[in-house]
Every structure is written in C-alpha cells, then in structure tokens.
Amino acid sequence: MTMLRHWSLIERLAGAGLILLGAGLLGSIYLEWQAPSLSVEALIPPPRADVPAGRDESVQAMQPIARFSAITERPLFSPDRRPAEETEDETGPLSDLRLAGIVISPASREALIVHGAPPAIVHLKEGEAVDGWTVRQIDPGRVVLSSGGERHELRLLPRGAEP
C-alpha cells in the first residue's frame, strides 16, 4: 500500500492559494520593515516664517458671538428648543435658594447659599445679595432674607433631611 495519495484539483488550487497568500504577507512585512521609520518630529511641520515668534498658529481667532446666535435661539437641552422666557423682575424665586451652611466666627458671619442652574454655592455676609434677595440677619441655624417688602427665613436642615 502506498502512502502517497493523489490530490484532487480543489485541494491543489487551495494549496496554491495559501502559498500565494503567505508570499504576499511576507512581502508586505518585508516592505514595512525596509520603510524608513517616522519620528514624531518628522510629523510636526516646521514653523512658518509669516507667523510671529511666540504665537501659536494652531489657535484660531474667536468667531464673533453673533455667528452662534442659533445656539441661543434654539437651546439644545430645552425640551421645546425655545429660549427661556426672561422676566422683568430681577428677584429670583425664593424656592431657588437653599441654605447649605452657616459660618459664625468672632470676626464675621457668613451664610453658604446654593442657587442657580447649575447649582452654585455663594458665601454671603449680612447686607450682601443673591438673585435679588438681601441677607438681613445670620443666626445659628437660620438666615433672614428680604426683597422689596418681603422677608423670608431659610433654615438649616438636619443632615439627611429632605429640603
């Protein structure tokens, strides 16, 4: 019995295809190996003569704000894509203010009030104002605010309590 067997036409074509594929891959590896390597410095263009020294040419001049008017006319994160209506009254709603903390020292009294969207904390002393509300009095646990003829009190909530 002979160990050699005759290969069919399909097996011969498949073998020839694999040999050609291997030769092509070896050729591409050889060409990649022989190509000169590029350093980072070779990728950076030389400085231009018409740009003054110390000025970064990649920084572009700020476009005029009028060019971006579509952003304010159709705000992206507004559900109806309409700008918020502005009110004539400069006093913000009291519900937008939250007392975050009180600092009382021999030298001063300060209230830490959270306001605005996105929320921001401001440090206010007696007589200072935020969103049209003026701090009239700072006591341990409470702050008295006034606007026009209105007076309201913000209380410091216990830790973990819902506002």
Please check whether residue 142 lies inside any domain of the structure: yes
The three-class DSSP label of residue 1 is coil
Per-residue confidence band for 137, with pLDDT thresholds at 50, 70 and 90: very high
pLDDT above 70: percentage of residues in the chain: 70
36 pLDDT band, cuts 50/70/90, is confident
| pTM (two decimals) | 0.42
Domain with 144, as residue range(s), is 94-155
Q: Is the dihedral of CA 150, 101, 114, 109 positive or negative?
A: positive
Q: What is the CATH number of the domain that holds 124?
A: 2.30.30.830
What average pLDDT does the segment 103-127 reach?
87
Cis bond before residue 52 (omega within 30° of 0): no
Angle at 103 between CA 111 and CA 90, to 5 degrees: 10
Q: What is the pLDDT of residue 99?
A: 87
Mean pLDDT of the chain: 78
Does position 1 have pLDDT exceeding 60, yes or no? no
Structural domains in the chain (count): 1
Residue 122 lies in a domain: yes
